[in-house]
Amino acid sequence: MKLLFDDNISYRIVKKLAEIFPGCLHVSRTNLPVPASDRGIWEYARQNSYLIITFDEDFKDFLTYMVLLPKS
């Protein structure tokens, strides 16, 4: 399982979890702009098969919006 940690989580956690979750990544190590938008993080995770780990309460609202958005 590949984990992508949001900005609001310390980058140090990646080093601690790398043995258990190889391929985990902090958003600061991506090519996303700083600070990265929720949509940017979502797209990066989707395109690269990551599970997003965040403490961001707004991300839940963003996720609800993305799931309910009609597919074109």
3-class SS shares of the chain: helix, strand, coil, % to 5:
45, 10, 45
Structural domain boundaries, residue 16? 3-68
Domain tally, the chain: 1
pTM: 0.82
- Torsion sign, CA atoms 60, 66, 44, 37: negative
CB 45 within 8 A of CB 52: yes
Residues of the chain where predicted confidence (pLDDT) is lower than 70: 65-72
The predicted structure's pLDDT at residue 69? 59
The predicted structure's pLDDT at residue 58? 79
